[in-house]
Amino acid sequence: MAYYGKCIKAVTEQLDRFNPGKDNPEQFLEAASASMQALSPQKQAFALEVLSGCLEYHRLLAVVVDAFYVRDGRLCLWADYSLFQAICYLATFQLEELGLQLFCDIVRSQPADKMHKFLRFFFNPLHLCSWIKDEWSLIHESAHVKENWIDPLMRWQPEVQELINQLEQVLASQPLPSKTKAKVTEPKKFNLTVPRPRAIPVPEPVPVVAKPRPVPRSTYQLPEEQQMLEMTKRYNRRKAEELLLRANLEEMRCAMPRAHREPPEQGSAKPQLPSVPRIRRTPKLTFYRPNDSVPVKLNTAAILREGALYQRQVEKELQRVDRLVDGAGDFSEFFEWQKKMQAKAREERLAAEECRRLQGKLSHEEAVLARLQVLQGNKQKAAQKKEEMARLMQQCAEQRLREQRSVEELVQQVMEGQKNIKLVQMKLLQGRRQTVQEVMEESRGLLQRSAEEAEEQQRQRCQLVSQRRALETLPVRKGKLVDLAQTPGYGLEGEMSLVELRERLALRGEARRREEQERRDQILRSKRERSQELQEALEQVALCRSAAGRAAALRLEEKKAAAPEPPSQDERVLELQRRIEQAAERRRQAAVPRVSATRAARSKPRAQLEAQHWQELERSRERGLRALQQGRRLEAA
């Protein structure tokens, strides 16, 4: 058995090193044969044959071994993966050549528990004839798999089952590992030095602190500028909301079609389709402008950033002047050409916008025509649906009548059964009452016993408390007095008395305070210098801002003075206008047919209801506006 164990061990070691994605099987076999030179020729030949077979049928073996780890081998180690591959190869492809006795010797040379689990899983007839056969048929032809591999394994299954039973007996005869009792830790007492009694320190005098100045009231109040800004914001918001509410009411009045407000007269012709409602523009909102004289406070970063920006602009302007002085060209011609190109692009953009607007209007006209056609089709479909619904309603009524009769019969049967149920319920209720009485008697006894135990515990607590108080009243010896000017005498380096230590600490604190005062003075000087620099930068920024504002005002006046040129008439625009007129004419012609007098009579109450609905909606909006205005007045008061 040791002979086969060494061979299988060498094979598993080589299989563990093999990587299917990177290694070449032929080169790997040559390297493996070179590493097995220490084995005898017979062992080396057997190991190389098994190794080459495992590499050749790697995919078939992986199907079985992976399924074993998923189902029965969850507790097995992944380090034994190559061992299970080698045993599966020998059982599938070499069992006829090796013979049963030699195969049994190879299996017995390995751990019995692992071989028992794997062989019981692999030689299960249900597994061999079902999923193993199907998975192998995906890799090779099904006829070849059944004839050369599955049928031989099924023939050897009874003999291998005897081997599995023998391995099970070997596992049952093995003794269980003995459990050793853990040694109990023995605690030992600590050898601690008795501490000296703590000295009572002399109380230090309470320092007299100067009365602090009260906190100014401005700390808890907002600045006047911020209060003024908040008040302006609230006023503007309230005024804007009132104007928006009024505008919404005006829009609702304008958007309501005339056909909804005035019902058509009976017998009159069908009114034309209402055109798109014209919505009035909301009045221009006017806001209360805050006081511009309030200065805006800038932080240090904003001042330096803006100063650096204006400095770069000044440097660029100086460089441009230097280039002009040196003879550089002027860009006036380029600017004129650029203006012409911009005007041309603006004309093209206006023409494109007009085309888009006209295309939208044309699509609207076409949609109206399509909607008229859809309405006619819907009328025909509605008539057909009404006929079908009438037929279905008649069928449902008949079905409902049959169900009602069956329900009445079922109710009669249930009423007869309930007469017998009442007697059973009375008997069950009497039994439950008797059980409840017994439970209540038991609970009373338990409560009485618990009350007695609580009284006994309270009495024991009172005795313990009295003993503890008696111990606390015993006199306690006080510690000895301490001389603060005496040196302890421990023999340490730099040893001193408590009084000397306090004096040295006081001197050290005085020196530290002097250093802090010097650093504070230095920081104040640096802050003054920094504030002076910021003030100069702020003045320069203000000058640059005023110059930039004047330049912007001049550019705005020039832009306003330039009169906009009317957009040129484009061929696309004219074509779209012509198509829109044709579509409007077709819509007017489609809306000419009249409706019957009965249809107008039926539409009259509906129009009245719609007009009443719009009136109620307008009244509710007015009531909401009045309530909101009243709430605003109360809030302002």
Do residues 80 and 19 both lie within one domain? Answer: yes
pLDDT tens for 566-575 read 444 567 778 8
Residues 165 and 57 in one domain: yes
Question: Considering the chain, what is the average pLDDT of its residues?
Answer: 78
What are the structure tokens assigned to 592, written together? 């000419």
Range of the domain at 240: 226-256
**Same domain membership, residue 117 and residue 234:** no
Q: Is there a domain that residue 414 lies in?
A: no
Q: Is the same domain home to 138 and 75?
A: yes
Q: Which residue has the higher pLDDT, 284 or 385?
A: 385
For residue 78, being part of any structural domain is answered with yes
| Interatomic CA distance for residues 321 and 33, integer angstroms | 87
Contacts of 287 (CB under 8 A, 6+ apart): 236, 239, 240
* Greater model confidence, 522 or 103: 522
Using the 3D structure, point to which of 152, 173, 194 is the last residue of a domain: 173
Residue 373 burial (10 A CB sphere; 0-12, 13-18, 19+): exposed
In tens, the pLDDT along 142-199 reads: 888 888 888 888 888 888 888 888 888 888 887 665 556 667 888 888 888 888 887 7
Q: What is the distance between the alpha carbons of residues 396 and 385, in angstroms, rounded to a whole number?
A: 16
State the pLDDT confidence band at 620, using cuts at 50, 70 and 90.
Answer: low
Please state at what angle helix 25-35 crosses helix 41-56, rounded to 10 degrees. Answer: 160
User: How far is Cα of residue 237 from the mean position of the Cα atoms in its chain?
Assistant: 36
CA distance 635 to 637: 5
- 47 shares its domain with 150: yes
Provide the pLDDT for residue 511: 94
Look at the block and give the residue holding tokens 């689990």.
117
**Are 132 and 231 in a shared domain?**
no
Residues 234, 158: one domain? no
* 315: three-class secondary structure by DSSP: helix
DSSP state of 570: P
Whole-angstrom distance, CA of residue 481 vs CA of residue 455? 50
pLDDT-based confidence at residue 594 (cuts at 50, 70, 90): very low
Indicate the residue among 211, 236, 256 that finishes a domain. Answer: 256
d(CA 237, CA 239): 5
Q: Is residue 38, in this structure, part of any structural domain at all?
A: yes
Can you tell me the distance from the alpha carbon of 230 to that of 605, in angstroms, rounded to the nearest whole number? 54
Count of C-beta atoms within a 10 Å radius of residue 604: 13
Confidence of residue 274 (pLDDT cuts 50, 70, 90): very low
Cβ contact 104:163 at 8 Å: yes
Residue 505 has pLDDT above 90, yes or no: yes
311-322 pLDDT, tens digit each: 888 888 888 888
> Predicted confidence band at 487 (pLDDT cuts at 50, 70, 90)?
confident
Amino acid at 590: A
Q: Do 106 and 41 fall into the same domain?
A: yes
Is 136 found in the same domain as 232?
A: no
Query: Does residue 309 or residue 20 have the better pLDDT?
Result: 309
Q: Is residue 57 part of a domain?
A: yes
In this predicted structure, the answer to whether residue 483 has a pLDDT above a threshold of 50 is yes
Give the span between the Cα atoms of 118 and 122, in whole angstroms.
6
Grade residue 610 by pLDDT with cuts at 50, 70 and 90. Answer: low
User: Do 59 and 153 belong to one domain?
Assistant: yes
87 vs 4, 71, 83, 116, 464, CA distance in Å?
12, 18, 6, 12, 77
Q: Give 294's contacts (C-beta < 8 A, 6+ positions apart).
A: 225, 228, 229
Which pLDDT does position 611 carry in this prediction? Answer: 65
Q: How far apart are CA 281 and CA 283, in angstroms?
A: 6
100 within some domain? yes
Residues 152 and 252 grouped into a single domain = no
The residue type found at 121 is: F
Let me know: does 60 contact 122? Beta carbons within 8 Å. Answer: no
Q: CA–CA separation, 106 vs 90, rounded Å?
A: 9
Taken in order 447, 450, 451, 452, the sign of the CA dihedral is positive
pLDDT score at 631: 56
Q: pLDDT confidence of 220, banded at 50, 70, 90?
A: confident
Element (H, E) at 514: helix 498-561
pLDDT computed for residue 329 by the predictor: 64
570 domain residue, yes or no: no
Domain count, the chain: 2
**Of 56, 57, 64, which Cα lies nearest the Cα of 134?**
64
At 517, the pLDDT band (50, 70, 90 cuts) reads very high
Beta carbons within 10 angstroms of residue 265's beta carbon? 9
In a domain? residue 129: yes
Burial letters 338-368, b for 16+ CB under 10 A, else e: eeeeeeeeeeeebbeebeeebeebbeebeeb
| Two structure tokens written together for 361 | 């209007």
Inform me whether the pLDDT recorded for 454 exceeds 60: yes
Assigned token pair, 583: 């579509």
Q: Is residue 536 part of a domain?
A: no
Do 64 and 164 sit in the same domain of this protein?
A: yes
Buried b (16+ CB within 10 A) or exposed e, 172-200: eeeeeeeeeeeeeeeeeeeeeeeeeeeee
- Return the minimum-mean-pLDDT range out of 18-32, 274-288, 537-551: 274-288
The least confident of 228-237, 504-513, 530-539, 620-629 is: 620-629
pLDDT of residue 627: 65
